[in-house]
Chains A and B, each alone.
Chain A
Amino acid sequence: MKPLIQATIAIIIVCALLLFAANRLETAGSQGSKDTITVYNWGEYIDPSLIDQFTEETGIQVIYETFDSNEAMMTKVEQGGSAYDVAVPSEYMVQMMIEKDLLIPLDHSKIPNLKNIDPYFLDLAFDPKNKYSIPYFWGTVGIVYNPNLIDDHLTFTTWEDLWDPSLKDKVFLVDGAREVMGMGLNSLGESLNSKDDELLKKATDKLITLSPNIKAIIGDEITPLMINNEAAVALTWSGQAADMMWENEELDFAVPKEGSNLWFDNFVIPKTAANIDGAHAFINFMLDAEISAQNNDYVGYSTPNAAAMALMDPEVIEDERFYPGEDLRDKLEVYENLGLKWLGKYNEYFLKFKMSIR
């Protein structure tokens, strides 16, 4: 009987430990205090020296954590495990988090540096009057390519260039349903937020005709492949393209004229926040013209901060590839939150397309 009892006790202890650990994880985060904030951001998305500077100036310690997808971030905030004070979701996720009541409205009086933001990027459809969010960086979806590996006449000013027969087995796509389906819809001249089954079907059929040109559909692994001249053409985000071009000067980037996606990553204060004043102080700090200019220089994405742009190298901000002019900007569309039903449909069609590429 003795080993039996021991075994039973062992199981009970294991379960108790698991419960205890889960409980600890949940409470550990929520013990916020006046002098720390937890910032939850994308990887490689801030100049780390600015975090130290913020601590020096305000005495608030920063716990910095990173995520690699909007969905993963939202799940963690929703579970309420940790006391994230500032998070940086993309615009469609801001909308979804507002709907799920996961955000705290911002107190604009505590963020005077909001005036530095270009009004063009304020009061957008996903968050009217910036009640919950302030843009941090923005960018587009376009095509990064290596002119040495492809025909000269391809400049990707139009999506049709992707269908060029000379690109057989040379095109890499990013593994995202919204990006790829959006590209299909844009190439037909339609909106990338279309909620029309017929249109989605047409876009999928159009994408299927692209199959012979597609080499692979992958994620961040595309960056080293482009840098090492192993891949010729890739559909990707402007920020990622900027990273690649920083490492490999042969590369070029274009946003096709039919239009594309315009995305924003935004500061928000989730409901999990324990130090709301600290969170406002951090956001205000990051919006300061000089701080922002230094951060932009480090991160390399496009900034909505007009005051910071005035301090930056003119060559950077005049680069039409990353700071497109008004005429192209008007063609760019922000992703709308489609709702789970349509998001599911986009994914079903994307899956159908993926299964056709071989």
Chain B
Amino acid sequence: MTNRVSKGSLFPYCLWILLFVIAPIALIVYYSLLDLEGKFTLSNYQSFFSPAYIKMTFTSFWYAFLITFFTLVISYPTAYLLTKTKHKHLWLMLIIIPSWINLLLKTYAFIGIFGLYGPINAVVEVFGIEPKQILFTDFSFIFVSVYIFIPFMIIPIFNSLDKLNPTLIYAARDLGASSFTTFRRVVFPLTIDGVKSGIQVTFIPALSLFMITRLIAGNQVITLGTAIEQQFLVSQNWGMGSTIAVFLIIIMIIIMLVTGQRKGGRA
């Protein structure tokens, strides 16, 4: 009886997954096998393994890595300090609120902020430094992307830090561990799951960023996301666009597996 109920209770869930996850992915795979005339072919996959796309995959990876790295470096200490504050949920709220604003709107705001006559250059000028065009550089691209991803990284880390039992820290200190050792041996390993989910929600979207690459990086950074957009909207080569999307999905699955939480071994 229990067995039957548990199987049956999966039904709505499976239906949902089938309709809104499996079916779209199957469609993408199907389109990736079509050429411009709508005939079945593997030529799209062949062209993906050309130097241009391989290079693009690596640049996407590199920038996604940089973005995730800086986001983590900023978010972990922030989340840690947040848990120490008095009104931590209020502070967390204040950090999360900007993520409710439309991404494009925030990006446009940065065009003004980074502009030649924007506030940053005005400040720089006070110190007697020539104003410089900050837009359309690697710096501006990474800065804006990190800014956008920070709330998504902070939430899971904050949650795992918040759940951490403080008596474990006291115990470590009692046993003579320095504060650095306590962090390295106790706090960090116990919050690694938060870090992992933070990395997932940052790295995966960072791989396929596309509007920011044009608006903030002026197309100096070309990611897989840009290529997909171009294939669908300009070249109207849905096959090639889908092929790139298939590889993006594969990469995402790999990342999920690598950063996924293990079943055993948890305290």
Residue positions of A touching B, CB distance < 8 A? 1, 4, 7-8, 10-11, 15, 69, 71-72, 169, 172, 175-177, 215-219, 221, 224-225, 228-230, 340-341, 343-344, 347-348, 351-352, 354-355, 357-358
Contact of B5 with A217 in the complex, beta carbons under 8 Å? no
CB-CB nearest in chain A for B237: A344
CB-CB nearest in chain B for A348: B52
CB-CB nearest in chain B for A228: B117
A-contacting 9-mer, from B25-33, B186-194, B215-223? B215-223
Contact of B15 with A216 in the complex, beta carbons under 8 Å? no
Interface of B is mostly: helix
Contact of A340 with B15 in the complex, beta carbons under 8 Å? no
In the complex, chain B residues 4-28 whose Cβ is within 8 Å of any chain A Cβ: 5, 8-9, 11-13, 15-16, 19
A357 to B5, CA, bound (A): 60
Known: A15-B19, A340-B36. A216 touches B220 (CB 8 A): yes
Known: A4-B8, A215-B133, A217-B219. A69 touches B227 (CB 8 A): no
A311 to B69, CA, bound (A): 63
Q: How far is the CB of B209 from chain A (nearest CB, A)?
A: 15
Contact of A217 with B236 in the complex, beta carbons under 8 Å? no
Contact of B115 among A169, A218, A230 (CB under 8 A): A230
Chain A positions within 8 Å of B159 at CB level: none
CB-CB nearest in chain A for B5: A1
Contact of A8 with B11 in the complex, beta carbons under 8 Å? yes
Q: What 1/0 mask marks residues of chain B from 95 to 122 whose CB sits below 8 Å from any chain A CB?
A: 0000000000000000100011100000
Q: How far is the CB of B47 from chain A (nearest CB, A)?
A: 8
In the complex, chain B residues 118-153 whose Cβ is within 8 Å of any chain A Cβ: 133, 135-136
Interface centre among B59, B116, B235 (most CB of A within 10 A): B235
Q: What 1/0 mask marks residues of chain B from 206 to 236 whose CB sits below 8 Å from any chain A CB?
A: 0000000011011111100001001101111
Known: A11-B16, A341-B36. A355 touches B234 (CB 8 A): no
Contact of B115 with A228 in the complex, beta carbons under 8 Å? yes
CB-CB nearest in chain A for B116: A230
Q: How far is the CB of B253 from chain A (nearest CB, A)?
A: 25
Contact of A347 among B59, B111, B234 (CB under 8 A): B234
Contact of A343 with B235 in the complex, beta carbons under 8 Å? yes
Contact of B222 with A340 in the complex, beta carbons under 8 Å? no
Given contacts A218-B215, A230-B116, A355-B56, 11 further A-B contacts (CB under 8 A): A8-B15, A216-B135, A218-B219, A219-B214, A230-B117, A340-B237, A344-B36, A344-B240, A352-B52, A355-B55, A357-B219
Contact of B11 with A216 in the complex, beta carbons under 8 Å? no
The 3 closest A-B pairs by CB, nearest first: A216-B218, A7-B12, A217-B219
Q: List 10 A-B contacts (CB under 8 A).
A: A4-B9, A15-B19, A71-B233, A169-B133, A215-B136, A218-B218, A221-B111, A341-B36, A357-B219, A357-B220
In the complex, chain B residues 228-256 whose Cβ is within 8 Å of any chain A Cβ: 230-231, 233-237, 240
Contact of A175 with B219 in the complex, beta carbons under 8 Å? yes
Contact of A8 with B12 in the complex, beta carbons under 8 Å? yes
Contact of B235 with A340 in the complex, beta carbons under 8 Å? yes
CB-CB nearest in chain A for B138: A358
A340 to B36, CA, bound (A): 7
Known: A4-B12, A355-B56. A216 touches B219 (CB 8 A): yes
Contact of B221 among A11, A71, A340, A358 (CB under 8 A): A358
Q: In the complex, how many residue pairs between chain A and chain B have their CB atoms under 8 Å apart? A: 92
Chain B positions within 8 Å of A341 at CB level: 36
Residue positions of B touching A, CB distance < 8 A? 5, 8-9, 11-13, 15-16, 19, 36, 52, 55-56, 59, 111, 115-117, 133, 135-136, 214-215, 217-222, 227, 230-231, 233-237, 240
A347 to B233, CA, bound (A): 11
Contact of A344 with B235 in the complex, beta carbons under 8 Å? yes
Chain B positions within 8 Å of A11 at CB level: 12, 15-16, 19
Interface centre among A4, A340, A352, A355 (most CB of B within 10 A): A355
Chain B positions within 8 Å of A10 at CB level: 12
Chain A positions within 8 Å of B227 at CB level: 351
CB-CB nearest in chain A for B12: A7
Contact of A1 among B8, B231, B235 (CB under 8 A): B8
A217 to B214, CA, bound (A): 7
Chain B positions within 8 Å of A354 at CB level: 219, 222
A341 to B36, CA, bound (A): 7
Q: How far is the CB of B236 from chain A (nearest CB, A)?
A: 6
Contact of A71 among B16, B111, B218, B234 (CB under 8 A): B234
Chain B positions within 8 Å of A7 at CB level: 12-13
Contact of B52 among A169, A217, A340, A355 (CB under 8 A): A355
A224 to B227, CA, bound (A): 26
CB-CB nearest in chain A for B215: A221
Chain B positions within 8 Å of A347 at CB level: 230-231, 234-235
A357 to B233, CA, bound (A): 22
Chain B positions within 8 Å of A225 at CB level: 115
Q: How far is the CB of B32 from chain A (nearest CB, A)?
A: 15
Chain B positions within 8 Å of A224 at CB level: 111
Q: How far is the CB of B262 from chain A (nearest CB, A)?
A: 30
A352 to B230, CA, bound (A): 13
Chain B positions within 8 Å of A4 at CB level: 8-9, 11-12
Chain A positions within 8 Å of B8 at CB level: 1, 4
A348 to B48, CA, bound (A): 12
CB-CB nearest in chain A for B108: A221
A358 to B136, CA, bound (A): 11
A229 to B131, CA, bound (A): 13
Q: How far is the CB of A71 from chain B (nearest CB, A)?
A: 6
Contact of B133 among A69, A230, A352, A355 (CB under 8 A): A230
Q: How far is the CB of B61 from chain A (nearest CB, A)?
A: 15
Contact of B222 with A355 in the complex, beta carbons under 8 Å? yes
